[in-house]
Amino acid sequence: MNNIEDFINSKVPVRFFRNNDVKFENNALDELQRLLLLSETINRVKTYDTDFFADKNADIVEVAITPDFHKGAGIPIGTVMLTQGLVIPQAIGNDVNCGMRLYTTDLTEDKVKVKLQLLEKKIRHIFFEGGRDIPMTRTQRESLFREGLLGILETSNQSCSRGLWKYYDPKQQEADILNVSNLGSMITDQVIGLDDFLGNSSLSYDEQIGSIGGGNHFVEVQKVSEILDNQIANAWGLKKGQVVIMIHTGSVMIGHHSGLYFREIVRNIFPGNLKHPENGIFILPESDKFHREWSMFWSLLSNAANFAFANRLFLGLMMNKALTDTIGEVNFKLLYDAPHNLVWREEIDGKPYFLHRKGACPSRSMSQMAGTKFEYYGEPVFIPGSMGSSSFILAGLGSRQSLFSSSHGAGRGLSRGKAIKADDAAFKDFIDRFKVITPIDPNRPEIKCRPDILKKWEDEIKAEAPYAYKDITPIIQTHVDNGLAKVVARLEPILTVKG
């Protein structure tokens, strides 16, 4: 099945969002076709085990495909799926609550660029050379996993303003939580499988909190290059020429840990005498019969999601420290933080559903954001371009057709393997024009004489370079044309930090 038209007769309604300049590759469409075979799996299970589902109408209800749709690992990126009576853990992926966080500052590009060399050195030390300095007690980590940002706020006094906690202002954080989707907190009473990670009662360090992760994750210093909606921009504290900080990462190894548990849970409850699904995707019903497994799933999901919210928070504090130590005191305000790999309980048209987003941002309307700081403008949506290209801030319009969702990026045009083999001249042109800070500093004398390390560094940058991704302009235009979101501002990068 290689054409979008082939999905018209699909049992599951599928809606695609793209304009004529947005191309969907066959391998992604084929992956979507295999995913939709899950509906056949559900019917087989219903026939074989009439008690498996408590809801006899349990099924995939509908699917929306965002403009940055591309192949993933079993579930295409840019897939939004609405289900009834069941969840599909694999439709979230291992990087639970991968998402975006954006801060505004009172800095200008000139203030940053005049200190760029010193700032690069400071960033490399804080992010990659032992300068992270985030001590936590066991109680703090437990609170983080169980209650997310609310748990951190409640226990922040235990770190006695040591290390990075100097930049954690409880009053400011209490206000910032209102600018985080779901208050940055998915409440659970369990922490599953993380006892060694929790440590003891004394202050200790771990290698995960405050880590960017690999792939397309980043922390980027950007400037607001164009304002396209003055009213919303003013309300959100955005001004032309202003420096902002965009953070894209998730739950790193904690999410991987939860993903392994997810897969074990759903495989173990699948009817033993039925052949496993050919696409390798399993289901978890909302049912008293599987109450234990259902509870474990939501606790694991909450543990990883809460960690991801905290991870983005601390990465923000790390960049705040780098800027403050280099330039001086900075007005550092959170605009918004939202996930794009998660499942939500949603009531739509008066019925309860589960809404899965894999590489897609929530993009809710003014009325859907009622009772929040964004009820007069819609939910902030951040759509980054590829490394070194423009990113955009939008305001959600709550499109029912797109399941209240927008893209989370431009989407890959080349696989990582093909991008690594790209023309060396194109790579040199990019790296000469743009500042990328990574754990490896290619200019250090001891690195310059190590071609093996330099090759690894070069391959990692090539895999995420602009030519590996699609042009973001038609992606944004598709949002406008289809009423998914309103464009507020365009951002341009100054420097990118990659894990």
Non-local CB neighbours of 133 within 8 Å, separated by 6+ positions: 162, 163, 164, 205
Compute mean pLDDT per 10 residues along the chain, 499 residues long, and list them: 59 92 91 94 94 96 95 93 97 94 97 95 96 96 98 94 95 97 97 93 91 92 98 98 98 95 95 93 96 97 98 98 97 96 94 97 97 97 87 97 94 73 72 83 81 80 74 94 97 94
As to burial, measured by CB atoms within 10 angstroms (0-12 exposed, 13-18 middle, 19+ buried), residue 288 is: exposed
Query: What pLDDT does residue 417 have?
Result: 75
Give the span between the Cα atoms of 448 and 191, in whole angstroms: 45
Name the nearest CA neighbour of 42 among 57, 29, 32: 57
Rounded to an integer, what distance in angstroms lies between the CA atom of residue 319 and that of residue 309? 16
Strands (DSSP E) contained in 43-167 are 59-70, 77-84, 86-87, 99-108
Please provide residue 264's backbone torsions phi and psi, each rounded to the nearest 5 degrees.
Answer: -65, -40
Per-residue confidence (pLDDT) for residue 1, from 0 to 100: 37
Distance CA 288, CA 167 (A): 46
pLDDT confidence of residue 3: 56
- Number of helices and strands (H, E) in the chain? 15, 17
Sign of CA dihedral 228, 373, 97, 347: negative
- Give the span between the Cα atoms of 354 and 360, in whole angstroms: 15
Distance separating alpha carbons of residues 259 and 164, to the nearest angstrom: 29
256: which strand partners?
Answer: none
In this structure, are residues 193 and 210 in contact, taking their beta carbons and an 8 Å threshold?
no
Kindly state the helix (H) or strand (E) to which residue 294 belongs, with its residue range. Answer: helix 291-327
Token pair, residue 72, equals 């993933």
Exposure string over 80-110, b if 16+ CB within 10 A, otherwise e: bbbbbbbbbbbbbbbbbbbbbbbbbbebebe
CA 18 to the chain's CA centroid: 21
Cα(224)–Cα(207) distance, rounded to whole angstroms?
33
Across 19-85, the runs of DSSP E, i.e. the strands, are 59-70, 77-84
**Residue whose entry in the numeric block shows the structure tokens 């009053």:** 171
Residue 8: φ, ψ to 5°:
-60, -40
* Tokens describing residue 343: 């499942």
CA angle at 35 for the pair 32 and 36, rounded to the nearest 5°: 90
Q: What domains appear along the chain, each with residue ranges and CATH number?
A: 4-413+469-497 (3.90.1860.10)
CA atoms within 13 A on the CB side of 29: 15
Quote the tokens at residue 78: 């840019």
Residues 6+ apart with CB under 8 A from 179: 334, 335, 336, 337, 373
Q: Which among 246, 259, 255 is positioned nearest to 98, based on CA atoms?
A: 255
How confident is the model at residue 30, as a pLDDT? 94
Residue (of 225, 261, 311) closest to 489 by Cα position: 225
Question: Distance between CA atoms of 432 and 442, rounded to whole angstroms?
Answer: 13
Tokens, residue 55: 């809801």
In the prediction, which pLDDT does 188 show?
A: 98
**Phi, psi values for residue 479, rounded to 5°:** -60, -40
- Among 44, 56, 73, 51, smallest CA distance to 277 is for 44
pLDDT at residue number 443: 79
